[in-house]
Structure 1
Amino acid sequence: MADGIKVSTTSDIPEGEGVTVPKEVTGTVDDIAILHDTDGTFWALNDTCTHADASLAEGWVEDGCVECPIHSSKFNLKTGAVSGFPATEDTVCHRLEVRGDEIWLFPNETPPA
């Protein structure tokens, strides 16, 4: 997706929180969570926790991780890697660009390292 999808503005997502972009908008197999870390950065991960059917956008975002609101599994925002049990399966990251105050999502594109 060369141009991406404008999904939000930076002021719409408070630090430490997230929003869900429906899969009907993104064309992906799962909804996508747009997450605003406490350092001011924004990240995109598949929204459903890999351990239980919970929305990561409803979890707690802090210090480079999102914590699932149900069983406290943690996922690295940059890589999608599990960093706290009970989840054992990583989640999928998607590329984001912040252009001024607009957040653009590139579904199924891996973020740069």
Structure 2
Amino acid sequence: MSKRPPFVRVAGVEEIPEGVVKHVIVHDKPMALCRVEGNFFAVNAVCPHMGGPLANGRLEGCVIQCPWHGWTFDVRTGLADHPGGHAVSAYEVRVEGNDVLVGWLKRPLS
């Protein structure tokens, strides 16, 4: 069984206002970190369609939209918000005190 990578501090709670997306790097992976209704979520920051920067995308509720071609993903799960779409990886996020930490994959992609 492989060892899970450690959680990494990526921001302070106050650095991620509600509805804002921040680009962070965790274990050499670009991620889009956001806060929705007080909860923090992290997904792969690269759109699987053509490599668009999801961290620069628009966030509406729990859905992030790629700024290049409009593909949408649920930040809670990484699943595409349209039928037949590709998912992005979603990562575990936790808050310890005033620190936002990102860790391992929530689920393997098929």
* TM-score range normalised by the length of the shorter chain: 0.7 to 0.9
Corresponding residue to 1:9 among 12, 24, 40: 12
Q: Which runs of 5+ in 2 are unaligned?
A: none
Deviation at 1:7, TM superposition (A): 0.5
Size of the aligned set, in residue pairs, is 104
Decide which of 54, 59, 62 is 1:64's aligned counterpart. 62
1:47 maps to a residue whose letter is A
- Tell me the equivalent position of 1:110: 106
Runs of 4+ residues over 4 Å off in structure 1: none
Percent of paired sites with the same residue: 24
1:31-50 correspondence to structure 2 within 5 Å: 31-37=30-36, 39-50=37-48
Deviation at 1:20, TM superposition (A): 1.4
Shift of 1:3: 4.4
TM-score (norm: length of structure 1): 0.79
Question: What per-residue deviation string (whole Å, max 9, x for no partner) do you get for residues 56-78 of structure 1?
Answer: 11111222111111211110111
Q: CA RMSD in A?
A: 2.1
SS in 2 for 1:88: coil
Structure number with the higher strand fraction is 2
> Which TM-score applies when normalising by structure 2?
0.81
